[in-house]
Amino acid sequence: MHRLSGRPWFRRRRAGLGWRPVSWQGWLVSVLAAAALVGVFALSGTSARIPLVVLIVALYAIVALATGGARAEAPSQPDDEPPSPVVSSPTPPPPVRAARPLGEPVLVVEQLTKRFGDRLAVDDVSFSVAAGEVFGFLGPNGAGKTTTVRMLGTLIAPTAGSAVVAGLPLDSANGVEIRQRIAVMPENPGLYLRLTVAENLDFFAGLYGLGRAKERIHSVLEAVNLAARANDPCGSLSKGLRQRVGLARALLNDPAILFLDEPTSGLDPVAARDVHNLIEGLRDRGVTVFLTTHRLDEAEQLCDRVAILNTSLRTIGRPQELRDHLFTRTLVVRTAEPLPAPDQVLAVDGVESWQPEGTTGYLLTVSDPRTAAPAVTRALVAAGADVLSIAESSHSLEDVYLRLVDEDVEARR
């Protein structure tokens, strides 16, 4: 059964029986079912009531299951705590997003290049983005991120190279159709502040030539949790709420690819968190998000894969893969007193090398911290050492970024 923008009509209740409407379509179906039940009891005889009631309830259940009610509402917090890791750290390690299988490519870029006179803005860039993926595009100011997005959005023509955007070759003949299949949300959403939220969206729906505009506006406002503010002037909203309106506007045409350019720039932590939640919700609904950002913690939290650009593409991959590629796995061991014979004590399976760190600290290069840490702990206890801590040395996406920028001569000019 068709659902606007993939939004479910019902959710199965976490406790008890039945379903809860979560959209106007769900409430409409619920009202019609209730009216039908009232009509059965008011107009039909006793012998006909039971089969009619069973039929109405069965139809309601079929509609609820087909439009999202097969899944329970996600709990706000997990009921069970995950098991404690073998290797602990005094500071929380960077969040690791579980790798998930990626769909077919919805964006394919091959050797894309852009020159402005003698200046090379983008140099021979190639990558692909899968359907339903949140793809991070990172780089310093002037790296060519916005230029790349403008080329893919058909706003400027590339000097060389090719791309396929939402199934269409990137050329002037397909410009209009590509723009109908994508959406771009710039850092400044550019709303008309004297118009209400709904009036802004109605205006842009007209530019897209969308049919059933009121339904679409209601759907996207619910998607960004702004249905209650539809009649408020945009000038009365905070910057965070305006960003939500900009995101709703970008979702109007149900885009195959959503380009977000610094969506949390200038937002306070609470508003930024709300935008993050909305992006994660888009991922769950299968929307492909192309995210440019300077906030590396944001990219690490949200993105399935990231690309680091500085005129040319420096690296691309999942954050964890990039960390593993650039940094060795290490354990930091601290004892109350120096080890009398560290070469002998630390010669255990999984430890590739070690070096002192201060007078009572040791930095161990290991193949796998989860197997090396228990062996090192047993060796230290057997040697009579008083162990203060054993922690895996963690690296963030920021460490990856800075390592690549430091190695990049052009970026340091």
**CATH number assigned to the domain comprising residue 219:** 3.40.50.300
Same domain, 157 and 303: yes
Q: What CATH number is attached to the domain comprising 385?
A: 3.30.70.100
Same domain, 198 and 300: yes
In this predicted structure, what is the pLDDT of residue 299?
84
Domain-embedded: residue 78: no
Domain-embedded: residue 390: yes
Same domain, 312 and 332: no
Same domain, 214 and 300: yes
Same domain, 120 and 26: no
Instruction: Tokens for 246, please give them.
Output: 């900009």
Rounded Cα distance, 97 and 300, in Å: 8
Domain-embedded: residue 319: yes
Domain-embedded: residue 405: no
Same domain, 49 and 176: no
In this predicted structure, what is the pLDDT of residue 289?
94
Same domain, 352 and 279: no
Cβ-contact 192, 246 below 8 angstroms? no
Same domain, 177 and 137: yes
Name the phi and psi angles at 226, rounded to 5.
-125, 15
Same domain, 59 and 153: no
Domain extent, residue 115, equals: 105-323
Same domain, 147 and 267: yes
In this predicted structure, what is the pLDDT of residue 157?
94
In this predicted structure, what is the pLDDT of residue 195?
94
Cβ-contact 364, 372 below 8 angstroms? yes
Domain-embedded: residue 86: no
In this predicted structure, what is the pLDDT of residue 403?
63
Domain-embedded: residue 91: no
In this predicted structure, what is the pLDDT of residue 58?
81
The mean pLDDT values, 10 residues at a time, for the chain of 413 residues are: 54 62 78 81 73 80 74 43 38 48 84 94 94 89 88 94 94 91 87 94 88 88 90 92 90 91 82 86 87 83 88 85 70 90 87 86 84 89 89 69 57 43
Domain-embedded: residue 366: yes
**Of 323, 341, 363, which residue is a domain's last?**
323
Same domain, 146 and 200: yes
Same domain, 244 and 306: yes
> Bridge partners of 308?
138, 315
- The count of structural domains within the chain is 3
- In terms of Cβ atoms closer than 10 Å to its own Cβ (0-12, 13-18, 19+), residue 408 is middle
Domain-embedded: residue 288: yes
In this predicted structure, what is the pLDDT of residue 90?
40
